[in-house]
Amino acid sequence: METPLLTHSGAGDDGGDYAPVKSLPALRSVFRTETVKLWRIAGPIAFNTVCQYGLNSVTNMFVGHIGGLELSAVAIALSVISNFSFGFLLGMGSALETLCGQAFGAGQVHMLGIYMQRSWIILLVSCLFLLPLYIFATPILKLLGQEEQIANLAGQFTLLIIPQLFSLGVTFPTQKFLQAQSKVTALAWISLAALIVQIPLLWLFIFWFDWGTTGAALAYDVTSWGVAIAQVVYVIGWCKEGWTGLSWLAFRDIWGFVRLSLASAVMLALEIWYFMSVIVITGHLDNAVTAVGSLSICMNFNGWEAMVFIGINIAISVRVSNELGAGHPRAAKYAVYIVVFQSFLIGLLCMVAVLISKDYFSIIFTNDKDLQVAVSKLAFLLGITMVLNSVQPVISGVAIGAGWQGLVAYINIFCYYVFGLPLGFLLGYKFNLGVTGIWGGMIAGTALQTLILLIILYKTNWNKEVEQTTERMKKWGGHEINGDNQRKINGA
């Protein structure tokens, strides 16, 4: 069994919490300590999410070399239909992230396996409700205004990746179970193995057997279920403390768990669907194949960066939930401030890299010169998006760790769907700015959301968050919380 990475030794003597930072040497000490703690978790998780995203991205790369129509159709299937489900199920699973992280911090490790089983049940049932979206993908995409040839081919591909949908119902809860305990190295190795297997499978099915997009879908299904099964085997074989076997307690108070899961789903899904919708709106423009293709290439590169920050998102969620569960308000606060600073610097580096390589990076996805020129023109917006996406997902991770999903969901609705999307539509169509206008308006929505969340972070009372966490653990754990989180906490 791996040793948990989170020990509450801190830099101070306040029951494991940090002492208040009142000097530059103390600041350096806290910064160094928190950086090590963060990246011990974030590094393997970011690697894991990058490899998982690679399954999507590599599929697009191979299909893009079949033809422009195939690239647009598969990009629509993966970006719209599959990402719709991915966002919803990831959000449902993120309720487990809050509860498992706080339970682990509070010393209730035995509850993690029961929480995971509840989440398996809820997510697999949710997959059944999402199934019509896959079955009727073609008419749905036509209703959204996609060209008939793109919608038809995308619908065929979507039917073939239904098995991948159900793999997520197993994968996400298992990941959250392991992440809450900082058992993340196995996740990284499993995802790397899946990506390594995916590449020869795609080549074999698409080009050797000449199965085209059907072969791409088959490879996608095989590797996705391989990840799910490998994670479950690891949990059963190497996580004896958190996994004590199947239990009927998984069905206890399941509706209350559903409500928390839905709040998490709405919060995260609104974020993922927001960027998905830019693809849908772009499909209404003239020369839709080029417009959708160029934007999907940019979104693929944005997705690679986003996966790194999803890793940091999960890491800070684990840090915050563990420290709140253990009754350490200053450790939670300092961890948040340090990770936001570091993430912003990484985002700036990504923007510089994109602007330097703007005329070349699209070659990975396509040989079409028109598509390459279109991508180059969008590089500036891609760079800005990368900077914003370096901070925004991290703050969302803080929200998950602290249990603020409902509040953030309301903020997302306003910033994304009341402000950002209408502005993008107005700039793209009414002012004839095309893809640039649509994307620019949506960037404005993300910027507004990030600003509001930063203000909320600045005003957060972390002592109060500890008290609310203790009450949450009493409710879900069913008994009093042990450990130093029961002590009275003085000002952070």
Whether 490 shows a pLDDT value over 50: the answer reads no
CB 264, CB 94: distance < 8 Å: yes
Report the pLDDT value the prediction gives residue 128, as an integer from 0 to 100.
Answer: 96
What integer best gives the mean pLDDT of the chain? 82
Say which residue the tokens 């995260």 belong to. 268
Q: How many CB atoms lie within 10 A of CB 200?
A: 11
Whether 379 shows a pLDDT value over 90: the answer reads no
Dihedral-angle region of residue 113 (phi above 0 means left; psi in -120 to 50 means alpha; beta otherwise) = alpha
Can you give the three-state secondary structure of 377-391, one letter per residue? HHHHHHHHHHHHHHH
Helix (H, G, I), strand (E, B) or coil at 446: helix
Q: How many CA atoms within 13 Å lie on the side-chain side of 35?
A: 9
pLDDT average, residue stretch 236-254: 83
Q: How confident is the model at residue 390 (pLDDT cuts 50, 70, 90)?
A: confident
CB 176, CB 313: distance < 8 Å: no
Return the percentage of the chain with pLDDT > 90, whole number.
Answer: 28
Q: For helices 254-282 and 369-402, what crossing angle results, to 10°?
A: 160
pLDDT digits (tens, 9 = 90+) for 99-139: 777 778 777 787 888 888 988 998 999 999 999 999 999 99
CB 105, CB 322: distance < 8 Å: yes
CB 283, CB 144: distance < 8 Å: yes
pLDDT average, residue stretch 446-458: 89
Whether 492 shows a pLDDT value over 70: the answer reads no
Distance CA 176, CA 173 (A): 5
Helix (H, G, I), strand (E, B) or coil at 2: coil
pLDDT digits (tens, 9 = 90+) for 50-109: 888 788 888 888 988 888 788 888 988 987 888 788 878 887 887 777 777 777 877 778
DSSP 208: I
pLDDT digits (tens, 9 = 90+) for 303-349: 778 778 878 887 888 888 888 878 888 888 899 989 999 999 999 99
Partners of residue 14 on adjacent β-strands: 17
